[in-house]
Amino acid sequence: MFTFSAIHTSSARRILFFSLVLSFLIPYFIVFLGEKAFIRHWESYGFAPEQTREWLDNGFKSMDKAKQWRAEYFKPEEAGPWMLMDIGPGEASEWREAGIKLSEAAEWRRYAFTPSLASEWRSGGFSIGDSIAWRKHGFEAGEATRWREKGMSPAAAAQAKLGGGNP
């Protein structure tokens, strides 16, 4: 009959303990070394380790995307929300240059306005709703401004224009 002795029991406990420790340490070091290699790869393209972590923390898993956003002078925390709205770095830069924030840009964009068009309408004092109404009747920003200065609504201006009237 087989009996457990104190020596066998303590050896088994040590083996179990070391197995548990190794089951934690081995994956930890694999991830640790993998992350170091990943950061080193980003460093070779001009990203400091802290910058790499910032881009990663803001949803940028691709270094190429991070480089595109950085080339447009966006910080990771600025670029992340634009990227989530599926607006690319070039277009986001245009919206920013036009002085239009992301929430407004998303709304203008929803109605097929480009950054330059939205800027034209905004500089004419039009809200997005007014801009949509005037555009729906076939007016550009400058022309709509002249008709509006005459006190005309988009529908009335469209009728007058059809009748040969000028602003």
Write the pLDDT tens digit of every residue in 5-32: 555 777 878 888 888 877 887 777 776 6
What pLDDT sits at residue 4? 55
Residue pLDDT, tens place only, 30-53: 766 777 877 888 888 889 989 999
Question: What's the pTM value of the predicted model, to 2 decimals?
Answer: 0.73
What pLDDT digit, counting tens, does each position of 94-116 carry?
Answer: 999 999 999 999 999 999 999 99
Could you give the dihedral angle defined by the CA atoms of residues 32, 33, 35 and 37, in that order, rounded to the nearest 10 degrees? 170
Alpha helices in the chain, H assignment, sequence order: 6-43, 49-57, 63-71, 76-84, 89-97, 102-110, 115-123, 128-136, 141-149, 154-162
Domain ranges of the chain: 21-97, 112-167
